[in-house]
Structure 1
């Protein structure tokens, strides 16, 4: 008796996209029928996403075909599969979401005729970005959506849209969610939004200065240690960027923010104290300090000097630089204090 073994013909990109779309659409009918139908539909989605991942990323032994990747990218856009993937991902299983993330990263980077086809598709369907942001409220889908958002944020147009959308304000809530993993992921996305594209960030901060820093103050004064520490470090990262120099100049004229930073200088955490110092020194070293800021520094002169004397970094060249900066800041506080006291007579 002889046996013949036939290897199934590999699917074309068009077939992969069509079967993926059909399985995603089947989820709509399955959810209103019965549990078994839904399970079967989800299994089919999982298989199709696995096939798509292999076509886009290879199997570890052979490299994926460039032509097939480009065809698959075009088909996904032409067949409007992207909205289905985004809107249905919250019901996917763990492996399907993992495969989706792998596919998403590759798809966004693909250029067809010098255009990022999937990025352009999202630009024409920007509500997809807002949906991904809102998904942080769904703890099962949050980490998947966060990874997909950070891939989107690599592109200026998409990052700019999120910054200027009303959904951006949700990050001030998400970074303090009780689920640590979700809150940390949200902060990673929040950080990328404020640091990846300096020109767009500068434009956003210029036009939304008051509302942004009012919300940001709540993060700096949070009762959550991790939130305070991360927010303070991030503030240093984007405030001291050269394109944001005009924002920094405006920020260091604000008494309310000086008081916030002075409070953080007294924090029980040494890490927070040191991070606060790097912003505090800009307030003090500013040659254009307002009279009100000089009064605050003079009024708290002795307390500030005692605080700074107790603030140390450690050993090495970093410590030497820190001590030099600290000495300069202490002398400036003393100078301002003498000036204000003479003025008062």
Structure 2
């Protein structure tokens, strides 16, 4: 006598979301004593995440059914499953976290009609963005959360919220964490926040100029070489963005900033010297240099000229252009040093 078993019917998007939600909620009722029960619940979560991943991105041979993807995306928002994903993340195993990060980017960009409903959900539950930021304090999930955060930052409204949130200030701590991988990941996120959406960044810097640059100074003067080098390179990237031209004009008019850049030009690292020069030349070339800036340039002109004469372009750089720029800067410093009435 033979038995034939019908394969189980694939879950509908609604059924899958319910199964995911139930398995995530099931983690709440488990205590440390019930280790086996917790393991079983985590296995259920992992299994559901694999199914979710297949529904969202297909299996490499069969393309995803976009109607199913839309239905599942809507259901995930309606049932507050996005919030559960984040709050339960620290409990998940490695595979489940990896699958969730993969699904996260697909869910965020999925449009239902003309609306990215997961982005809308995050806009309406902005505390989840703060949660992702503070996860850098947990090295076990920091890299997962960093990936998810950078996916969020692709959307202007979400990036703007993080910039203006008190949690943004935490990045000045995270980029200097002793764990190199976590610090590097945090810097990648920090960089995206300051470079992805020029208009939002310009508004933020305009409103928070003093507080921001007071904190940024600490990065530029850090004892950590990587922090100094990365923050100096990033500074030139966002200052030179056209919407930030008014920020740059303000920055290059302040003596305290010039002094930091001049110090960095004496750094033992050739890379830092070159990066500092590219910001220093903007101070010097500024046709509207304040008197205080001229005084500093004049007082230090001998040391500055000695530094510049010994400075050469880095590997792969355009030597001719570099030498041309250097010559113009040297001439301008010499001119300023001969101006009358610059005694401080």
Q: Classify the TM-score, shorter chain.
A: over 0.9
Equivalent residue, structure 1, for 2:323: 323
CA-to-partner distance for each residue in 1:235-290, whole Å, 9 max, x for gaps?
01000110000000000011001000000000010111100011000000011111
CA distance in 2: counterparts of 1:153 and 1:181, whole angstroms: 20
CA distance in 2: counterparts of 1:70 and 1:317, whole angstroms: 48
> How far has the Cα of 1:61 moved from its partner?
1.4
Equivalent residue, structure 2, for 1:34: 34
Change (3 A) 1:317 1:118: closer
CA distance in 1: counterparts of 2:316 and 2:262, whole angstroms: 26
CA distance in 2: counterparts of 1:221 and 1:41, whole angstroms: 48
Change (3 A) 1:318 1:32: same
CA-to-partner distance for each residue in 1:174-197, whole Å, 9 max, x for gaps?
000111000000000000000000
> How far has the Cα of 1:4 moved from its partner?
2.6
Equivalent residue, structure 2, for 1:16: 16
SS in 1 for 2:10: coil
CA-to-partner distance for each residue in 1:218-241, whole Å, 9 max, x for gaps?
000000000000000000100011
Change (3 A) 1:13 1:199: same
Partners of 2:294 and 2:342 within 8 A in 1: no
Equivalent residue, structure 2, for 1:162: 162
Equivalent residue, structure 2, for 1:290: 290
CA distance in 1: counterparts of 2:316 and 2:136, whole angstroms: 42
Equivalent residue, structure 2, for 1:137: 137
Change (3 A) 1:317 1:209: closer
Aligned 1:95-106 pairs, distance under 5 A: 95-106=95-106
Equivalent residue, structure 2, for 1:218: 218
SS in 2 for 1:311: coil
Q: Count residues with an aligned counterpart.
A: 343
> Which deviates more from structure 2 when the two are superposed, residues 236-245 or residues 33-42?
33-42
CA distance in 1: counterparts of 2:60 and 2:112, whole angstroms: 25
CA-to-partner distance for each residue in 1:78-137, whole Å, 9 max, x for gaps?
111011001110111110000001110000001112111000011111000000000000
Change (3 A) 1:323 1:154: same
SS in 2 for 1:61: coil
Aligned 1:106-125 pairs, distance under 5 A: 106-125=106-125
CA distance in 1: counterparts of 2:327 and 2:195, whole angstroms: 31
Change (3 A) 1:272 1:109: same
> How far has the Cα of 1:303 moved from its partner?
0.7
TM-score normalised to structure 2 length: 0.97
> How far has the Cα of 1:9 moved from its partner?
1.2
Equivalent residue, structure 2, for 1:208: 208
> Which deviates more from structure 2 when the two are superposed, residues 307-316 or residues 76-85?
307-316
CA distance in 2: counterparts of 1:138 and 1:253, whole angstroms: 40
Equivalent residue, structure 1, for 2:126: 126
CA distance in 1: counterparts of 2:37 and 2:8, whole angstroms: 26
CA distance in 1: counterparts of 2:205 and 2:161, whole angstroms: 14
CA distance in 1: counterparts of 2:104 and 2:314, whole angstroms: 44
Aligned 1:246-257 pairs, distance under 5 A: 246-257=246-257
> How far has the Cα of 1:41 moved from its partner?
1.2
> How far has the Cα of 1:343 moved from its partner?
5.2
Equivalent residue, structure 1, for 2:186: 186
Equivalent residue, structure 2, for 1:83: 83
> How far has the Cα of 1:315 moved from its partner?
7.2
Provide the aligned C-alpha RMSD in A: 1.3
SS in 2 for 1:211: helix
CA distance in 2: counterparts of 1:310 and 1:3, whole angstroms: 86
Equivalent residue, structure 1, for 2:311: 311
CA distance in 2: counterparts of 1:316 and 1:131, whole angstroms: 41
Change (3 A) 1:12 1:65: same
Equivalent residue, structure 1, for 2:147: 147
Equivalent residue, structure 2, for 1:260: 260
